[in-house]
Amino acid sequence: MYGGEKNTTNNIMELTAAIKALEAIKTTNIPIQMYIDSAYVINGMNEWIHGWIKNNWKKSNKKPVENKELWIKLNDLRNKQSSVEFIKVKGHDGVELNELADTLANKGMDELE
C-alpha cells in the first residue's frame, strides 16, 4: 500500500499512513506491532495522547492539538484492536521493511507529479 497527497505536511502523511495500516487489518483479535520511524507518531500515541484527551485536546501550553481529527481516528482504530504497540525504528538506517516503506512513500509522491 502507498499513496500521497498534494499540499500536505509530513506529520499528516505519517499519521495517515498509520491510520491506513490499521484500517487494512480486518480482524481485531491479533496483537499488532507497528514499527514506525516517526517520532511524532510514536510520541503522540505512546505518551502525549493520554494528556491531550484528559485536557480536552489541548497541549500542555493550552493550545489546540494539531491534526486532532487524525489523532482521534488513529486512537479509535487502536482501541478497536485487542493490542497495538507502536515501536520506534531508526529511519534510513538499513531496516529492510522501513526502507521499503520509504520507497513506497517516495513512489506515492512521485505519482502526484
**Cβ contact 14:38 at 8 Å:** yes
Cα of 88 vs its chain's centroid, Å:
11
Chain segment 71-81, per-residue pLDDT in tens: 999 999 999 99
**Residue 32 is inside which H or E element, if any?**
strand 31-36
Burial class (CB in 10 A: 0-12, 13-18, 19+), 56: exposed
Which domains occur in the chain, in start order?
Answer: 10-110 (3.30.420.10)
pTM recorded for the entire structure: 0.85
Q: What is the pLDDT of residue 48?
A: 97
Chain segment 36-57, per-residue pLDDT in tens: 999 999 999 999 999 999 999 9
CA angle 110–34–78, rounded 5-degree value: 110
